[in-house]
Amino acid sequence: MRLSLTVVGGLLLTGGLACPAKRPTSTTSVTTPSASPTEDVVSSTSISEEPSQTTSVDVTTAPTTEAQPTSTSSTAKVEEPSSTSASASSTSASSSAAPSPTTIVRTYPADVVDKLRDSSIDKLKDYLSKNPAGSCTLENASIRREWSDISPKEREEYIAAVKCLQSKSPRTASSKGPGVRSRFDDFVATHIEQTDYIHNTANFLSWHRYYVHAYEKALRDECGYAGFQPYWNWDRYAKDPANSPLFNGNASSLGGNSVNGGCVQSGPFKDMSVNLGPGTSLGYNPRCLKRAISKQWAAQTTADHTISLITQSRDIVSFQDTMQSYGGVHTGGHFTIGGDPGGDIHTSPGDPAFYLHHAMIDRVWWIWQMQDLSARLKAVGGTVVGSRGRSGSASDPINLGVNGDAITIGDMLTTMGGLNGELCYIYV
Ligand SMILES: [Cu+2]
C-alpha cells in the first residue's frame, strides 16, 4: 500500500501519496467554468459582471464578518481589515442581490460544490436548532474563505503571519529534530513523524482537521493574524494553476512555480528555507522551495470530481478512501503543487500551500457531513495503524506533538463546537 517509489516532476518520493488505485479516467467537463480572473480579482475590470454570478448565500446564517465583498470593488484593497464586522453592509451594496450585512459574495461563479454547500446550510441550521453546539452558533462561527475571496491585503496578512511562524523559535527539542528551526518547522516535523499513522487510516480526516486548526491558531495567537485559515477551491484554478492567484508569483500569492525545475523565483516564499526532509528525515537540510505545478494533476480536482466524491460516498470509509486514492482529490491537490517538499508525502507541509489544500479537504468533509448530519457527525471508519486492522473509533487518540494537546478523533468530528467548543467555524 504505502512505500511505493514515485517520481513526480523530477522529485523522488518515498511513499506514494495514496494507495495504488488506478488512475482516474480523467473525464472532463468542468461544469462550472470559472470565468476566472487570472489576475488578482481586485484589479479586474470584470467586476460589474460578477455580482450576477455571486450567490447571496444563507443570509440568515452568515456572520457579518463574511459579508465583505472584498474583491468586488476596486477600493477593496485599501481598507477592509479582515475581521471587522459591522461596516460590511455598506460595502456589499455593489451586489445586485438584495444588500444584506450577511450576504456572501464570491469572486468566482459558484461551482457545483459551492452550490451544494449553499443548499446544505439549512440542514446544518436545522440540526443545530435541535442539537445546539454550546455557545457556538452559525451567527458567531468564524468563516474560512477561499483565497480569491479574501482581498490581496488579507492574503498578504496571511502570508506575513506564515513568515512570522517561520521566524519564531521552535518548540521541538533539537535533540529530537535537529533540522527544526522554527515554529513553522514544528508542524512539518510533526507531520513527518506521524505520516505513516495518519494517512489511509481512521484518523486521516480528523487528524488533518486538528492540524490545520492548530496551525491557524498559531498564526493568530503567535503571529497576530486576524483572519481565519483560507482554503483553496481547486476547481477555480484547475485549468491553469500556475497562473492562478495562488501561484502566479505576485506579492499576494503563495509564490510562483519553479523555473526549469529549479527554485521558486517569485513571490513571498522565493527565499524561504525548506529545512526538513526529504522523506522521514528530521535532520537539517536547508534548501530552496521547488514546485512542479501541474495542470494534469489539477484536472482530477475539478468540481465534477469533488461533487461525485461527496454525493456518491455513502459511508465514511468510501468517502475517505476515494478521496485518498491515487485518482482522488487529495492526491490531485498535492501533486498540483508537486516539487519539493510539496510532492513529498512526509514533508509536504513544508510548502505553505499545503494548509490551503488541506483546508479544502476539510471543507469537502464538512460538506459531506452536512448531507446527513445525525449520522455523519459520528461517523468514524477505517483502521488504526499497528492495531492489526482494528477499526478506529471516536475514542482513539490524536496528538500533534508540540503543536497541540492530546485529543481524540471524537473531538474533531464537528466544526461546530468540537474540541469542547474550541472549534467553531464554517466555510463559504
Ligand atoms: Cu498529511
Distance of CA 267 from the midpoint of ligand 1 (Å): 25
Q: Is the pTM of this model over 0.75?
A: yes
The list of the chain residues with pLDDT below 50 reads 1-102
What stretches of 312-353 adopt beta strand conformation (E)?
none
What integer pLDDT is reported at residue 40 of this predicted model? Answer: 35
Please report how the helices 354-370 and 204-223 are oriented relative to each other, as an axis angle in degrees rounded to 10.
120
Distance of CA 2 from the midpoint of ligand 1 (Å): 13
Reduced to 3 states (helix: H, G, I; strand: E, B; else coil), residue 427 is strand
Please report how the helices 204-223 and 316-324 are oriented relative to each other, as an axis angle in degrees rounded to 10.
70
What stretches of 133-243 adopt beta strand conformation (E)?
142-144
Distance of CA 191 from the midpoint of ligand 1 (Å): 6
Residues 103 and 67: beta-carbon distance below 8 Å: yes
Reduced to 3 states (helix: H, G, I; strand: E, B; else coil), residue 122 is helix
| Bridge partners of residue 426, in order along the sequence | 143
Q: Amino acid identity, residue 346?
A: H
Distance of CA 198 from the midpoint of ligand 1 (Å): 7
Please report how the helices 354-370 and 316-324 are oriented relative to each other, as an axis angle in degrees rounded to 10.
150
Distance of CA 378 from the midpoint of ligand 1 (Å): 22
Distance of CA 87 from the midpoint of ligand 1 (Å): 38
Distance of CA 139 from the midpoint of ligand 1 (Å): 31
Distance of CA 368 from the midpoint of ligand 1 (Å): 19
Residues 329 and 309: beta-carbon distance below 8 Å: yes
The grid coordinates of residue 24 equal 482516474
What integer pLDDT is reported at residue 103 of this predicted model? Answer: 54
What integer pLDDT is reported at residue 105 of this predicted model? Answer: 81
What is the Cα–Cα distance from 311 to 136, expressed in whole angstroms? 27
Residues 353 and 246: beta-carbon distance below 8 Å: yes
Q: How far is CA 261 from CA 282, 340, 384, in A?
A: 24, 10, 38
Euclidean distance between the first and the last CA atom of the chain, given in angstroms as a whole number:
35
Distance of CA 350 from the midpoint of ligand 1 (Å): 11
Residues 59 and 103: beta-carbon distance below 8 Å: yes
Distance of CA 247 from the midpoint of ligand 1 (Å): 21
What integer pLDDT is reported at residue 101 of this predicted model? Answer: 35
What integer pLDDT is reported at residue 104 of this predicted model? Answer: 73
Distance of CA 35 from the midpoint of ligand 1 (Å): 31
Distance of CA 200 from the midpoint of ligand 1 (Å): 10
What integer pLDDT is reported at residue 179 of this predicted model? Answer: 98
What is the Cα–Cα distance from 237 to 363, expressed in whole angstroms? 17
Distance of CA 211 from the midpoint of ligand 1 (Å): 9
Please report how the helices 329-337 and 303-312 are oriented relative to each other, as an axis angle in degrees rounded to 10.
150
Write out the DSSP string of 286-299.
-B--B----HHHHG
Distance of CA 50 from the midpoint of ligand 1 (Å): 35
- Tell me 218's DSSP state: H
- Tell me 332's DSSP state: H
Distance of CA 51 from the midpoint of ligand 1 (Å): 37
CATH 1.10.1280.10 intervals, the chain? 109-427
What is the Cα–Cα distance from 357 to 102, expressed in whole angstroms? 26
Distance of CA 218 from the midpoint of ligand 1 (Å): 18
Distance of CA 347 from the midpoint of ligand 1 (Å): 9
Distance of CA 36 from the midpoint of ligand 1 (Å): 29
Residue with cell 492567484: 245
Task: Spell out the CATH class of 109-427.
Answer: mainly alpha
Distance of CA 17 from the midpoint of ligand 1 (Å): 9
Number of other residues whose CB lies within 10 A of the CB of residue 156:
17
What is the Cα–Cα distance from 293 to 295, expressed in whole angstroms? 7
Residue 10 CA from chain centroid, whole number = 25
